[in-house]
Structure 1
Amino acid sequence: MSADKDPAFNLVPEIALLAPLPEHMRKRFEQALLLMHEQLEEGFSWQQIAKKSAISSFHFHRQFSKLFNETPGRYLSRIRLQYAVYYLLYHETLSITDIAQLCGFASSQALAKALKRELGTTAKAIRLMAQQATPQQTKVLMDKLAHPGDSGSLEKQLAEALPCTLEYCEARYIKAVPSDTSDWDQILDHYGEQSVGLLGITKTTELEKSWSAIETQIAKSVEPGEPHDAVIKSGHYFCCRAYLLSDVAYSQVLQTLFEKAQQAGYNIDPEGHFIEWIEGVDLEQYGGITMQFQIPVIA
């Protein structure tokens, strides 16, 4: 897949919901969302966020609830839990108290109560999932933190329109990139803009294993003749491109892509590799990433 195609499909509910608003109103809501996401550690209430965004609490609550299909307080609580679950899954060196503080909870006890109330689980159980759960089992947890829509999650509703295509790719020569993790957020933190062009390469036979057993190689493509560590064979791939901002959207894209491949009658190549590719990094507005996903299929 080439990097000069049309803009990637948007799978960020906030962008989709704010798009129809007048510019002045959209900018105020964007400011509020930025405070909610980027300053969680401050523990701001939604009323404080409304004030900092130059919107009265009354109008902010009314407009936000109508636009987002949930109250600003509920949205803020859900976002805090999204971040907490991410840290629990992928940052084992952080203590529960550290995670609670990073996500704006008053204490580790407050985080524990929120996890039990909203997800029916514990911090310890989520940490075990990082080792024992499969990607599909993790998605079940992520779905509980998705943006509510008219029927099901908004991420799922958006993904129903995800454009997927069958493409033929020539053999690719790859060179491994030093990385202690295959978690894209940590890779982005480490490499920044240099993350663009990095590949995540996973054998299709690994995809049903637990996270701890899945081996994903982080690499970059090189030209034929240049030093390389492996070659990805040529073949047909079922592909999509999406702009993402959360683990919820990431897991939804993967499920939708595999479901659409099955609906189209394609069989996954058991000898192939599932490819993820960072195409772009948004360092200015929303902080999301554009990714390509490729499933090897027998066409």
Structure 2
Amino acid sequence: MNVPSLPRESPARLPNWLKRPIGRASELSTVQQIIKQRQIHTICEEGRCPNRGECYANRTATFLLMGQICTRACGFCQVEKGQAPMTLDQDEPRKVAEAVQLLRLKYVVLTSVARDDLADGGAGWFVQVMERIRQENSATHIEVLTPDFWGGIGREISQKERVLTVTQAKPICYNHNLETVARLQGKVRRGAKYQRSLNVLRWVKEFDSTIFTKSGLMLGHGETVDEVVETLKDLRSVGCDRLTLGQYMQPSLEHLPVQKYWTPGEFEQLGQIAKELGFSHVRSGPLVRSSYHAGED
């Protein structure tokens, strides 16, 4: 396997390849109106995704469940943090299912903030939303992008049991992001553990080998090529099928600074390495995010 030797330069201004149009206002407005009228949330907006213009133009969105306040404080994430998250909106499953119907979505991604304040970490809520979507949209495929389900009041329900709860609801793909290499986990993913996240992906395959598993990395935190390749090997060791690699972009001065802007060519090289390692579905590019073109083969 030919691992490229990449330079380690200090980041300067935002490279041209990370600049893109936001999309036509009319297309943005249609999706935003449907979402805001129902007081539901998308990671597209809460996470300031650079692809939201393109996705909205294609009438797609990734729904953010259980409010917009996260109990974790990851150093890279734009989502609001807090120790007193919102109470669950008992009408959220209906609202999301209705939005899916109005947007005529054939492939839906459901994600959530971390809810360490809930007894099951929110696993059961994922299932409720999935069930309601299927009642109204029987042909729609559902991908989940879950937290690690580690926290929770009392932890009467184990992390493994929570993962099982979501797996048994039969999403077409179960996504859980490592986000960065092992050495940088503590700085980038506060409250998360590298092996703990690998376990999530391993358990899904143990519970149901027919479900695709997926993970992603945000490059630019100071990782080396060798560390990235080692992480990809770790993902393959637990049977992970699909992979996304994208560039981390600092959302604000309060977030971790970018250590390096990886070039499109470097992403292409890493994507090729991922394919050689056996990933069946690889998206690797500066603007790639977890749900980018998620429904495509």
TM-score normalised by structure 2 residue count: 0.28
The higher relative CO (CA closer than 8 Å, separation ≥ 6) is in 1
Larger Cα-atom Rg: 1
More strand by share: 1
